[in-house]
Amino acid sequence: MKYNFYIILLLFIGCAGQMPPDGGEFDLEPPKIITTSLPNNSTNFKNGEIIFGFSEYVDKRSVEESIFISPPIGEIEFDWSDYEVTLKFSEILRSNTTYSISFGTDIVDLNNRNRMSESFNYSFSTGNNIDRGIVSGRVFDIKPDGVLIGAYLLKNSNDTINPANKIPDYITQTGKNGNYQFLNLVPGLYRIFAFRDEFRNLKYDVEVDAIGIPSKDIIISKVDSTETQFNFKLEVEDISSPRLISAKILDENRITFLFSEPIKSSSLKLENIILTDTITLQQKKLQGIILTSDEIKDGILITEKLSTSNIILEVSNVEDLSNNKIKRSNGKVRVTGEIPKNKIKPNLIYSSLSDTLYLQQLNTQIKFTFNELIGTDSVKIKGKLLSFDSINVPILLSISGGNINIKPKVTLNSNSVYFLNLTNDSTYKYKFYTIDPENVGSIIGVIETSNDKKSTNYNVEIEKIIIPKVKSKNIVSVKKGESFNIENIEPGNVAIFSFADENINGKYDGGKIFPFKTSEKFNYYKDTLRVRARWPIEGVVIRFP
């Protein structure tokens, strides 16, 4: 009991000593390393220890858990004295070897738990020479700080390295702005990943850690030892197959369904859907599928007239947005609910005009979705678009299932009023406005790249922009060397994100961990731009390696 009393007393005294001083300014200064017992990049290192001095008292545990040494040295003894910590090596160091010590940004001070603003990298060599390989870049994410950057030495380009199973050969962490840097890398072929490391086990945990996959492997040589702007964009990898969660009867001809996650609508085909009467074991005929978008979790099946609610719904070959195919065991559910006495009336369940009265693009496509197949007796469509002065505007009308797409054949007038009627009566009549060019701005620029592939599409998108009355993004697609003009941008601060759309699917692909597949190259324009009404921003140059 006396022993426990002394432990508690010591803890109390220790905690009291960690309290910030009364009065004075609030501590917002991050800790940093300001002294070392030997200069950085020292050669012919013979000592068994190194002393590092911090600018203030730091949390000892945060330091001891945030030190990464490459190549691994073995057990390290930490000897603390005020602001200083001595690293004592338990093993004899390799001869003629460059060692790198990285102090990560998870280190915090005692005064106010301020984190280090950037990693501290220290290197020494046990031989006459020290390796000089450098890789630097940035992680782009909502929370870019504290991300682990792991560099893996490869035997060759076909090396099947998996960060989920192997600790990196070199480790550092991003600072508060997402910047990172490797110094003194040994010459060789590297594959570098960035991941959140939520479990702090120095390994990538699938579907837990957000991860950034490189667009290429890096060769560090004595001749070419520097790679800059090697950037990452973090995503949580999805390797789980989708599941059919539920299905419910709406009426005698309609069944709703729900998946566990958004799926590719192109993979949900009538030939991959089976409705079975559990009593007669007969399959029910399907007439169509109604989906509100290309990436959906739910929809409606249009069936022949149902006489029983004892039905099993089974789907196959359905894929989610990460190309994971549904498993047979996850694609079957019992349909719930009873057939109501009254049939549900046809109704509009989606309209791209429902969220806004303003069209941002003057040649945009307007979309509608009904809960019934178009062309039946209950839903007859005759699209008509009129200007404010009742002049007919020619349109392209396309119908698929319950979806209607209307696209003007001519560019609409800006700052104008239009009327759209889907039927002969006024049941589905819309009034909308086109955007006023006096209230928007534009960005004009060019793509520059050393890539010899002239066929590569480069998508340029506006991000982080608030457009109260407009839902769609500002996106253009251009080739190498072509100029772009992004129009009708609402005033405000914007960021420009662009990527090399190698597979021409219109969206950024972040690659694959295992088996390894590189990500598409991307670029965030270096500056945030302030868009002003009526004023084009010119001379924007987006450079790709």
Q: pLDDT by residue (tens digit) across 386-413?
A: 999 999 999 999 988 899 999 999 999 9
Asked if 402 contacts 290 with a C-beta cutoff of 8 angstroms, the reply is yes
Q: pLDDT by residue (tens digit) across 101-154?
A: 999 999 999 999 999 999 999 999 999 999 999 999 999 999 999 999 999 999
Among residues 170, 184, 57, which one has the least CA distance to residue 109? 57
- Given a cut of 70, is residue 510 above it in pLDDT? yes
Residues of the chain above pLDDT 70, percent? 92
pTM of the model: 0.85
Place of tokens 């190194």: 50
DSSP-assigned beta bridge partners for residue 454: none
Determine the residue type at 265. Answer: S
Q: pLDDT by residue (tens digit) across 148-178?
A: 999 999 999 888 899 999 999 999 999 999 9
Q: Helix/strand/coil (H, E, C) string of 480-542?
A: CCCEEEEEEECCEEEEEEEEEECCCCCCCCCCECCCCECCCCEEECCCCEEEECCEEEEEEEE
Asked if 497 contacts 484 with a C-beta cutoff of 8 angstroms, the reply is no
- Given a cut of 60, is residue 381 above it in pLDDT? yes
Q: pLDDT by residue (tens digit) across 240-262?
A: 999 999 999 999 999 999 999 99
Q: pLDDT by residue (tens digit) across 423-465?
A: 877 788 888 999 888 999 999 999 998 876 777 899 998 885 4
128-to-50, 72, 98, 142, 518 alpha-carbon distances in Å: 19, 20, 10, 43, 37
Query: 259-268, 332-341, 486-495 — which is least confidently predicted?
Result: 486-495
Place of tokens 């998946």: 259
Which is more confident, 356 or 68?
68
Q: Which domains does the chain have, with CATH numbers?
A: 27-118 (2.60.40), 131-237 (2.60.40.10), 244-334 (2.60.40.1220), 348-435 (2.60.40.1220), 438-544 (2.60.40.1120)
Using DSSP, state whether 15 is helix, strand or coil: helix
CA gap 381, 432 in Å, rounded: 19
Q: pLDDT by residue (tens digit) across 72-100?
A: 888 999 999 999 999 999 999 999 999 99
* Biggest distance spanned by C-alpha atoms of the chain: 96
- pLDDT at residue 376, rounded to an integer: 59
Q: How many residues does the chain have?
A: 545
